Amino acid sequence: MTSRTITADAAGTWKLGDLDVHRIGFGSMRLTGSAAFHLGAPSDRERSIAVLRKAVELGVNHIDTAAFYFSTLRSANELINSALSPYPDDLVIVTKVGPFRTYSGEWGTSARPEDLRGHVEENLRQLGRDHLDVVNLRRMPKYDSIAEHFGALAELREAGLIRHLGISNVEPRHLAEAQAIAPVVCVQNQYALDRPDPATDELLRLCAEQGIAFVPFYAVAGEAGPNGTTTAHDDEVLTVARAHDATPAQVRIAWTLHQGPHVLAIPGTGNPDHLVENVAAGGLRLTDEELAALDGLRRKAG
């Protein structure tokens, strides 16, 4: 891609409720270590802070985080607070609740509805905020229905602790269940070029119909999931990358954004150079032929 610096506005914008965000955002999970959560070595604090500040400098105004994003020495929320507070007026911080980790890093039992206020207050404390812009309820497999949990968050929204609500790790029926309780501004699900899933494809369609943001996670990681960016790239991805002088990761991000104007990307990294590349992917325009080839790869993977 061109050597000039491409900023986040190249990807266009979408609204999370009444909050305008650039369609290319930033996922904070990998700031805490070399792999997800407590699996990797603690990251360098100053470098992580520099990455966050660089993201905002590049126009990123949508940051995804969670109180359970921490490693032995690092907490994503604390890094965000240290790097960016006082926060820019246009910065939208999206967090999620539901999963629970002990201070030693082990996963605890799934939260009950009455636990969620404590989760929200912990995010408020760590981020130094008096309200949260968007809170996603991440569904845990233990719970088939999300009505009670989402209802508890809706009450916190009415109380002014939360501005907007979203859901994560869900099926299409959960979107309908949540929408019957309170407005949903975003849906977060695992979604990647080489990991087709009919239920998530249906969610993508439903979100488009209803004007809801669809926010994929692990879009770059692919099959590697929480453990890092995939190093397995199909010929179709490599061919498109060569045509644009781009990286395979940039092609994956660009393909994701091409799935609809309501699709937001939140690639995460602790590497300043990768951050610049990820943001620049928002300006990568794929041809119809390239999209057809990548879509064919997706069908083949299914």
Catalytic residue among 69, 87, 191, 218: 69
69 catalytic, yes or no? yes
* Positive or negative: CA dihedral 267, 270, 271, 275: positive
**Burial group, residue 290, by CB count within 10 angstroms (0-12, 13-18, 19+):** buried
**Burial group, residue 253, by CB count within 10 angstroms (0-12, 13-18, 19+):** buried
Which DSSP string corresponds to the chain? --SSPPPGGGG-EEEETTEEEESB-EE-GGGGBSSSTTSSPBPPHHHHHHHHHHHHHTT--EEE--TT-B-SS-BHHHHHHHHHPSPPTT-EEEEEES--B-TTS-B-PPPPGGGHHHHHHHHHHHHT-SSEEEEEEE--TT-S--HHHHHHHHHHHHTTSEEEEEEES--HHHHHHHHTTS---EEEEE-BTTB--HHHHHHHHHHHHHT-EEEEESTTTGGGGGG-------HHHHHHHHHTT--HHHHHHHHHHTT-TTB-B--B-S-HHHHHHHHHGGG----HHHHHHHHHHHHHH-
Residues belonging to the active site: 69
